[in-house]
Amino acid sequence: MNDTTPTDAPILRCEGLRKSFGNLEVLKGIDLDVKRGDRIAIIGGSGSGKSTFLRCLNFMEQPTGGKVILDGERIGTPRTGRDGSETVTYRERDLMSVRKRVGMVFQQFNLFPHMSTIENVMEGLVTVLRQSKSAARTRAAEQLDRVGLGDKLDVYPSRLSGGQQQRVAIARALAMDPEVLLFDEPTSSLDPELVGEVLRTILALAEDGRTMLLVTHELGFAYRFATHVIYLYDGVVHETGTAEQVFRNPQKEKTRAFIARSSEFSL
């Protein structure tokens, strides 16, 4: 980080972020500041834009409009047309740099079935960061041990439970040492009895002070996890605040209704 950058400046900022797929506008102008150490839970119903929002933050999807600013630097090269409209060009090498700094854990584990657990975690270290295999193996083993899988280094994904596979995916993201870590409904593909082990892993990372954004339907967990909560509705931020404010005293009717529906069978 530049020495002249204030220490409380956002590590990640988006301004007026929009995303359309053809005629379907999914994100309709989202503003967000993420400071170091923030733990932001993103909640909302299906189709509200939660996953698309996360994917735009690390450019798995390229925004249709607005700005993404990482550590004070705007991502992409803007150009203003004769009519005053702005277009942004994203070079792949710039986006690869962003993805090194903004890691992501997906709903599906996306592990390579022909690679062992430790080889899956090593892959990015070797191919993206150009580490030696010995250094990568040491780093990968450390991160697998951190998520409670130090005894599964040479096991293949097919021999792991879904919860264990998701913890491998978390270790893989951690191994790249990202400045911001994104979780896109990391327990949605798991059997109910396996959800807890993944959520406990994420809480342990929160206690380490990591900067994280989490899309989840687990509202009880979000309440424990988050320093800040965003409720998305129809592609916009409908309500935002601390976990206590949003979950215990929501100000908007749609937020109250969503929390009541989502909590109906989990109280």
pLDDT tens digits, one per residue of 137-183? 999 999 999 999 999 999 999 999 999 999 999 999 999 999 999 99
Q: Token pair for residue 176? A: 């790249």
Mean pLDDT of all residues in 36-59: 95
pLDDT digits over 206-235, tens only? Answer: 888 899 999 999 999 999 999 999 999 999
Q: What is the per-residue pLDDT for 264?
A: 54
Is a pLDDT exceeding 60 seen at residue 266?
Answer: no
User: For the chain, what is the mean pLDDT?
Assistant: 91
Per-residue pLDDT, averaged over 245-256, amounts to: 94
How is domain 12-263 classified at the CATH fold level? Answer: Rossmann fold (3.40.50)
Query: Quick one: pLDDT at residue 121?
Result: 97
Measured CA to CA, the distance from residue 7 to residue 145 in angstroms comes to 32
Does the structure show a pLDDT above 80 at 32? Answer: yes
Query: Does residue 211 contact residue 36 with C-beta atoms inside 8 Å?
Result: yes
The per-residue pLDDT for range 67-82, each reduced to its tens digit, is 999 999 999 998 888 8
- pTM, rounded to two decimals: 0.90
d(CA 27, CA 51): 10
C-beta of residue 225 within 8 angstroms of C-beta of residue 203: yes
- Non-local CB neighbours of 237 within 8 Å, separated by 6+ positions: 30, 31, 32, 230, 231
pLDDT, residue 94, reads 87
